Amino acid sequence: MTDAELQRLVETISQNSFGRPFRHHATFNRRLRTTGGRYRLGDHNLEINPRMLSEHGETVLVGVIKHELCHYHLHLNGQSGQHRTAAFKTLLAQVGGLRYAPAPARPAPQPRKWQCYECTQCGQRYYRARRINLKKMVCGRCRGQLVWQGTVIAAQRPQST
**Residue numbers annotated as active site:** 68
User: Are the C-beta atoms of residues 125 and 116 closer than 8 Å to each other?
Assistant: yes
Q: Rounded distance, CA 109 to CA 8, Å?
A: 37
The CA-based dihedral angle spanning residues 116, 128, 152, 111, taken in that order and rounded to the nearest 10 degrees: 170
Q: Rounded distance, CA 31 to CA 57, Å?
A: 19
Residue 128 CB contacts under 8 Å (≥ 6 apart), including other chains: 114, 115, 117
Backbone φ and ψ for 104, nearest 5 degrees, come out as: -70, 150
